[in-house]
Every structure is written in C-alpha cells, then in structure tokens.
C-alpha cells in the first residue's frame, strides 16, 4: 500500500469514527462539544511547528511563526474555554443562578 492510499484509508475510517462518537449528544452539550472539537483542530500547531522547524529563509520563518502563534491560540484557548464552559456541568462547585447550564448550552 502506498503512503497516499494508506492516508486515504485512515481518512475514510476517521470519518466514520467522527460520525459515530457524536451520534447521541444532548442539546445542552452542543456548545461545549463544538468548542472542544474546535480545540482539537488546534493540533495544526504540529504542522506549523514542522514547517517553522524546517524554514530555511527569514521570510518563510516569519510566516511559519505567525502560523505557530495562531495555532497555539486555537489549541490553548480552545481547551481552556471549553473547560470553563464545563465547570458548571456537575462540577466541584454548585452552579449559581447566572451560570446555570441552560443559559450556556442553549441560545
């Protein structure tokens, strides 16, 4: 199996896994799930680091470093904001009136 076909196989299987894992999700969790998925695609940071790490001229390095900054913002900010959203879902502290789950999950 060539590299391209191997990656294509992985892609197709991952599509089915992606469909399956969120097939049953309660509507209060829609926003945190979106936010958590958003954080996960922040791993594009891996790609940005690889490109920045192989940059051989200043211009390329500058653009790659911008990509690193943007990807880190996505990755770190994404997980932290999701954690904050989830603090009110049966966490350690009792939910107060203004942070009740219903106000966060719905629109």
Partner 1 sequence: MIPVWAQVCYVVAAVCFILALKGLASPKSARRGNLLGAFGALLAVVVTFFAYDIDNLGWILLAVAVGAVPGALGARRVAMTAMPQLVALFNGVGGGAAALVAILELRHAELLSDGALVASAFTILIGSVSFAGSAVTFLKLQELMTGRPITFPGGPFVFGGVLVAALGLGVWTVATGSVTLAIILALVGLLAGVLLVLPVGGADVPIVISLLNAFTGLAVAAGGYVLENALLLVAGTLVGASGTILTRAMARAMGRSVSSILFGAFKGGSTAG
Restricted to residues 6-35, the positions that interact with partner 1 (CB under 8 A) are 7, 10-11, 14-19, 21-35
Give me 39's structure tokens.
């954080």
Q: CB of residue 94 vs partner 1: minimum separation in angstroms? A: 15
Nearer to partner 1, 23 or 94 (CB): 23
- Residues 30 and 26: their CA atoms lie apart, in Å, by 7
CB of 59 to partner 1, least distance (A): 10
Q: Which of residues 46-75 bind partner 1 (CB under 8 A)?
A: 46-55, 60-61, 63-75
How many Å apart are CA 47 and CA 93, to the nearest integer?
Answer: 38
């Amino acid at each position: 199996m060539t590299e391209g076909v191997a990656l294509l196989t992985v892609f197709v299987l991952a599509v089915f896994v992606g469909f399956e894992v969120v097939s049953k999700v309660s509507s209060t969790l829609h926003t945190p799930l979106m936010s958590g998925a958003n954080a996960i695609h922040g791993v594009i940071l891996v790609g940005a680091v690889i490109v920045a790490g192989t940059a051989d001229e200043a211009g390329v390095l500058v653009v790659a470093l911008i990509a690193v900054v943007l990807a880190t913002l996505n990755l770190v900010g994404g997980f932290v904001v999701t954690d904050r959203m989830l603090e009110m879902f049966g966490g350690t502290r009792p939910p107060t009136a203004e942070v009740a789950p219903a106000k966060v999950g719905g629109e």
